[in-house]
Amino acid sequence: MSSTIKNIYIAGIGVISPLGCGLEATEQALKKNVSAIGSLTAFAVQQPPSLPVGQVQDCPDGFSPLPRTHNLAVIAAKQALENSALIPDVVILGTTTGGILTTENLLAENVQETGKYRYHGLTTVAEEVAKAVHCTGPALTVSTACSSGTVAISMAVKMLQSGKAEWVLAGGVDSLCRLTYFGFNSLQLVDPEGSKPMDANRQGMSVAEGAAILLLTTTKQKNSPVQILGCGLSCDAYHPASPHPDGKGAATAMKTAIQNSGIAVKDVDYINLHGTGTPDNDLAEAKAVHTVFPTPPPLSSIKGATGHGLAASGAIEAAIATICLNKNFLPANTGFKIPDPNCDLIPVLQPDPRQISVVLSNSFGFGGNNACLVIGKAEKHSAAIPTDKSATGKSVPLTILGKACITGAGHTKESMDKFVKLEALAGVLDQKIVSQQLPVRKIRRLKRFSRIALALAAAAKEDSGLEQAPDSVFLGSAWGALSETYNFLDKLQSSKEKFPSPIDFVGSVHNSAAGQIAIMYRATGANVTSSGGNYSFEQALLAADSFLDDTSSSAFVLAADEAHEQFSRLFDPSLTETTPLADGGGSFYLCRKAIPGKISVKLKFYQKQTENIVETLIAALDKNALRNDCAMILAGIPAADANNGEKQLDSFMQKTGLDVPVIHYRKFTGEFASASSVAAVMATHLLEEGIVKHDKKVLIVGFGINVTAMEFSRQ
């Protein structure tokens, strides 16, 4: 069974960074080899002098009510689509900060008006971009710390290769904010003189901001010779914040990306290093480079010029890779003076005019999240032999080997016992009960969100009865680690910005829980945290479906959210002052393999609400198939979208003529963003226990600002 890998063309690029706005300005700045790292003015600090940062100088803050991150993303997206009336099928953004800078300002003024926090959620950035470019397909968000932008582009590549989309707008964005500025400094990872990657005297990074978004397509582009040739993801599964000392995970990601591209190691002409300038990261990356390349090609980190744009950095560097390929030069490692004998690498010292064909671009982040892209000229790829199994695994179902949930009622058994008796499960489970099966020492630094996620993964594995844990993790969460985020900002504010907590900072990162799962189970494969508001589980499932392209692969796929006294009601529009708080989540141990008798799950539909959304949904699900097979519908209507959602559901039932039980699952789970993951466990339970006939299907339909459908059936 041979397969042809589809070529992924770069049809448009938008970039805004401390170097400037647009490709031309970026190219000119790189050719000057001058650092853009300078003073912070994006927000005031209480303890001057401020540390040097990479700030975008022409970000129009006062220009809209949107937070700075959203503005940067929209600017980049519009640039990428310049001169084109094209509407992308999918938007995928990597971000870690979302609207946090605006949230910080509001909290400092003790604003309690919930509407003002509507742009806090990470998902709102991709939604704003989708709105700006009129995309009604999935607007997806990945948050894997400093590799986010690269992971977003990698996911786009996978979706394009599998035919899920033809045009995808993908990239990364982050704005400067107090959380990252003080957080990285609390970890002593900031160089007070400004970042100088790979230099023997480097002392850290310079926190920065920016956005870059690529328009990617499988449609051949005559005027654009540059393609994404391949990508590779891995997880160190070693430590929440420090890289593996030998760069083991980094080397794996590089090798995987090279292999996925169908090229040889010797074909790489230039490596754009992650090179943040922190002593440990640069050393680990240098060791990884030496592991993969017997004789390393020319290489450099541009972060001495740009600073570290966090989630944006990988996307900015992908844009820069295309400049190198199209304009025939290699950017210098700005700020480098003294070679570090431990790294044993001399980077490009001056902008180097040189014709190249293939660039390897590295991105590594907290949680041991590694992602690499290979970007190159078309001729390299057409000569290559595809070694990847991407196109073949897609028809194979995602099979459920184990499941688990946590609700206000308890763990899986208590929750399902109540559910089948049609009793409510909603509530906030005592934290001691949440983590009763977890080793005390391993979770001492973890707060509620990470404990729920870790307990869910542990229980899904136990339910599978398997010795071997899966090697990948796909986690969805709307709000992430609220406790750590709150504690960090609270301590920062109450100490007049003098004593932020390093532990809280590391724990506040959206992907910290998925990183913890990886550490506990030595899960060194892809590790992706998605954030999609009320559709976060659906996004995690879509990420799993995109990245699990090999029939030997398996993953934890889960979603969770924590209830937080101060934050939940401020952020989640489905919660009013009187709504009882609820939280929890659901998890699965999935594999890409057909196993007769087992239950499989499929994401059948994910679209933004439009005028004809119900008709589009019914067409995608096939009306006749629905009538024949569907035995029950679990409907998810968030309280904030109640009127609209009920209308959508009524219309759906009427137009399909379905006469099956409909369960509004939020009436059982309570109102929390990742409740659909608990519904997914309910659906599986109904099928496994024979409550729904073995030849029938259970459909989970999400309504509201997006409409989604997940199908559960027995094989």
Partner 1 sequence: MNMNQLTEKLKIQLIEILNLTDVTPEDFDENAQLVGGDLGIDSIDVLEIVVMVEKEYGVVINNKEIAEKVFTSLATLADFIRKTSPTLSS
Binding site for partner 1 (CB under 8 A): 186-188, 239-242, 440-441, 444-445, 495, 498-503, 506
Least separation in angstroms between residue 507's CB and partner 1 is 9
List of E strands, 262-397: 270-272, 299-300, 329-330, 352-353, 358-365, 369-377
As measured in angstroms, the least distance from the Cβ of 204 to partner 1 is: 12
Give the DSSP letter string of 301-338: -SHHHH-B-GGGHHHHHHHHHHHHHHHTEE---TT--S
How many helices (H) and strands (E) the chain has is answered by: 25, 23
CB of 53 to partner 1, least distance (A): 19
CB of 184 to partner 1, least distance (A): 11
Q: Please, which residue, 206 or 272, has the CB nearer to partner 1? A: 206
CB of 585 to partner 1, least distance (A): 22
Q: Is 63 exposed, middle or buried (0-12, 13-18, 19+ CB in 10 A)?
A: exposed
Minimum Å distance from CB 279 to partner 1? 9
- Closer CB to partner 1, residue 347 or residue 500? 500
d(Cα 105, Cα 176) in Å, to the nearest integer?
A: 13
The smaller minimum CB distance to partner 1, of residues 238 and 419, is found at 238
Minimum distance, C-beta of residue 502 to partner 1, in the bound complex (Å): 4
CB atoms within 10 A of CB 646: 14
Residue 566 DSSP code: T
The count of C-alpha atoms lying within 13 angstroms of the C-alpha of 387, restricted to the half-sphere facing its C-beta, is: 14
Question: Which of 651, 704, 659 is CA-nearest to residue 534?
Answer: 704
Give the nearest distance from C-beta 245 to partner 1 in angstroms. 12
Amino acid at 497: E
Closer CB to partner 1, 498 or 694, in the complex = 498
Distance CA 515, CA 235 (A): 8
Q: Tell me how far, at minimum, the Cβ of 189 lies from partner 1, in Å.
A: 10
As a whole number of angstroms, the distance between CA 431 and CA 182 comes to 29
Residue labelled with tokens 């390393």 = 296
Q: Is the peptide bond before 297 cis (omega within 30 degrees of 0)?
A: no
Joined tokens for residue 199: 């230099």
What is the rounded distance in angstroms from the CA atom of residue 8 to the CA atom of residue 52? 37
Provide, rounded to whole angstroms, the least separation between the CB of residue 310 and partner 1: 19
Nearer to partner 1, 506 or 555 (CB): 506
Distance CA 566, CA 21 (A): 38
CA 496 to chain CA mean position, Å: 32
| Amino acid symbol at 703 | F
Residue 573 per-residue DSSP state:
T
- Name the amino acid, one letter, at 489: L
Least distance between partner 1 and beta carbon 475 (Å) = 21
Shortest reach from residue 503's CB to partner 1, in Å? 5
**Alpha-carbon dihedral angle through residues 586, 587, 593, 596, given to the nearest 10 degrees:** -50
| Residue 238 or 712 having the CB closest to partner 1 | 238
Q: Which is nearer to partner 1, 382 or 495 (CB)?
A: 495
Residue 503 or 590 with smaller CB distance to partner 1 = 503
Q: Which is nearer to partner 1, 20 or 183 (CB)?
A: 183
Nearer to partner 1, 240 or 525 (CB): 240
136-166 residues labelled b (16+ CB within 10 A) or e (exposed): bbbbbbbbbbbbbbbbbbbbbbbbbbbebbe
Of residues 275 and 507, the one with the C-beta less far from partner 1:
507
CB of 346 or CB of 438, closer to partner 1: 438
The rounded distance, in Å, linking the Cα atoms of 690 and 698 is: 12
Of the pair 65, 245, the CB lying nearest partner 1 is at 245
Using the minimum distance from each CB to partner 1, give the nearer residue, 18 or 243.
243
Q: How far is the CB of 150 from partner 1 (least distance, A)?
A: 24
Residue 324 · residue 161 · CB < 8 Å:
no
- The neighbour count for residue 623, using CB atoms within 10 Å, is 13
Cross-strand pairs, 331: none
Distance CA 11, CA 322 (A): 11
In which region does residue 125 sit, left (phi positive, over 0), alpha (psi from -120 to 50) or beta (all else)? alpha
Q: Which two tokens stand for residue 167?
A: 């045009």
Give the shortest CB-600-to-partner 1 separation in angstroms.
40
Contact 432, 455 (CB under 8 A): no
Tell me the β-bridge partners of 207. 308
